[in-house]
């Protein structure tokens, strides 16, 4: 299928257009990378927080058996069967619920937090991010997207009532908007995950571009520099930060300015 080639979009193979492919122009700068080709290409890498779900079981990223209310993949749905979905509890659950009699309070709290009224409040906050309601101590700040900040610590999970969500969908696009490849990242947009994603796409027949534009270029470069088996990236591509995210990079970061 168009989206099923291990994350590589087959329809974009060999894509080139006047907007994203330009003739190579040499300079007198001795530090200029030897592109070694007649044309220069650039790809843009970014994560989109969309929240697709996967199995709630720890370290399992399989798709859900039942996407309309289920929380397990087929394997763990069979493994758990009729057991209470509080982690560590082996009691049978009460019919029409996901918890045993002892843990009904946790189950009812879960249901209440996902009631139409509670979800409507969340929807209002998302629709009106600048609204400062009287009962809120401070205005809600939404200046930074979740994936623009540092990787978040793993949250403590006490039950399997709800499926887990992938952290983001990572994409590689040409500047003209053509999607080259994609992947779902489970926990964080860490440099390890980003480089693993790049290697998976560019080892599948997609040629590496001369330039890769990514908001986390600095930490990705640090990760590459610290990993001997990744050093070949310095021979093929340069990593750039787009102008939108560049303002958040510190002027005192010597590595950022040097590389």
3-state helix, strand, coil in the chain (%, to 5): 30, 15, 55
pLDDT higher than threshold 80 for residue 186: yes
Mean pLDDT value across the chain: 79
> Into which CATH architecture does domain 10-51+166-258 fall?
2-Layer Sandwich (3.30)
Q: Tell me how far apart the alpha carbons of residues 62 and 125 are, in angstroms, rounded to a whole number.
A: 31
24-74 per-position pLDDT tens digit? 776 655 455 454 556 788 899 988 887 789 999 988 999 999 988 899 999
Q: Burial of 234 by CB count in 10 Å (0-12 exposed, 13-18 middle, 19+ buried)?
A: middle
Stretch 101-122: mean pLDDT: 79
Where exactly are the structural domains of the chain?
10-51+166-258, 54-165
Q: What pLDDT was estimated at residue 27?
A: 62
| Pairing outcome for strands 168-173 and 39-48 | antiparallel
pLDDT in tens, 71-103: 999 999 999 989 999 999 999 999 999 999 999
Q: Note the Cα 16 to chain centre separation in Å.
A: 26
Alpha-carbon span 241 to 222, nearest angstrom: 14
**The whole model's pTM is what?**
0.68
């Amino acid at each position: 299928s168009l989206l099923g080639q291990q994350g590589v979009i087959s329809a974009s193979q060999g894509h080139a257009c006047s907007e994203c492919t330009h003739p190579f122009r040499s300079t007198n700068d001795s530090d200029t990378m030897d592109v070694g080709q007649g044309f220069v290409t650039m790809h843009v890498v970014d994560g989109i927080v969309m929240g697709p779900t996967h199995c709630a079981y720890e370290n399992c990223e399989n798709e859900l058996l039942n996407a309309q209310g289920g929380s397990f993949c087929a394997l763990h749905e069979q493994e758990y069967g009729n057991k209470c979905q509080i982690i560590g509890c082996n009691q049978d659950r009460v019919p029409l619920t996901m918890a045993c009699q002892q843990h009904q309070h946790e189950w009812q709290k879960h249901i209440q937090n996902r009631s139409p009224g509670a979800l409507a409040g969340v929807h209002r906050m998302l629709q009106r991010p600048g609204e400062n309601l009287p009962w809120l101590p401070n205005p809600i700040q939404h200046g930074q997207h979740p994936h623009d900040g540092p990787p978040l610590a793993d949250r403590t999970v006490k039950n399997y009532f709800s499926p887990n969500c992938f952290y983001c969908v990572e994409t590689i696009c040409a500047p003209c908007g053509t999607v080259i490849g994609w992947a779902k990242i489970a926990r964080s947009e860490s440099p390890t995950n980003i480089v693993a994603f790049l290697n998976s796409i560019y080892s599948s027949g997609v040629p590496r571009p001369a330039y890769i534009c990514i908001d986390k270029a600095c930490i990705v470069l640090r990760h590459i520099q610290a990993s001997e088996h990744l050093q070949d990236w310095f021979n093929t591509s340069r990593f750039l930060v787009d102008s939108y995210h560049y303002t958040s990079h510190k002027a005192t970061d010597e590595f950022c300015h040097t590389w």
